[in-house]
């Protein structure tokens, strides 16, 4: 079970119809893939619980749950590298989110445009072509 505090009853929560569809991991989290809305570039993978998804849907800014810091973080609040949400979709198994964003600046904490720029693994099939 997650160590995050329950959302107070006075705080609006994730739409129950959306919450009922989500298939969360044992930690209560769902992977959220951030993708540049106009190019299709995969930017990063973050984690969301119901509260992070609710904040993302209602503010238009990506909010994630940091597994290492055990707290919510809004992408760009510290770095200025903001993700403006264009759309959010749930995959066919209801266990992964695709968040299409307009990324301002780098998406990766290393300063790279994406988290997938630095370490491309070669496959034998790709080498044969």
Binding residues for Mg(2+): 91, 93, 95
Enter the DSSP assignment of 71. E
Binding site members for Zn(2+)? 92, 108, 115
Find residue 30's DSSP bridge partners: 48
Tokens of 35: 């993708």
Dihedral (Cα; 87, 32, 13, 71), 10-degree rounding: -130
Q: Give the helix ranges, DSSP H, for 5-101.
A: 16-21, 50-59
Binding site members? 91-93, 95, 108, 115
**3-state DSSP helix/strand/coil % of the chain, to nearest 5:** 15, 30, 55
Say how many CA atoms lie within 13 Å of 73 toward its Cβ.
18
């Amino acid at each position: 079970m997650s160590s995050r505090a329950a959302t107070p009853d006075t705080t609006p929560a994730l739409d129950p119809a959306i919450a009922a569809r989500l298939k969360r991991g044992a930690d209560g989290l769902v992977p959220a893939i951030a993708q540049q809305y106009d190019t299709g570039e995969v930017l990063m993978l973050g984690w969301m619980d119901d509260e992070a998804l609710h904040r993302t849907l209602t503010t238009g800014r990506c909010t994630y749950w940091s597994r290492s810091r055990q707290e919510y973080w809004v992408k760009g609040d510290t770095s200025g590298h903001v993700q403006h949400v264009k759309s959010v979709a749930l995959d066919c198994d209801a266990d992964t989110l695709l968040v299409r964003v307009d990324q301002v600046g780098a998406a990766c904490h290393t300063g790279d445009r994406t988290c997938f720029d630095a370490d491309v693994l070669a496959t034998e099939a790709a080498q044969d072509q």
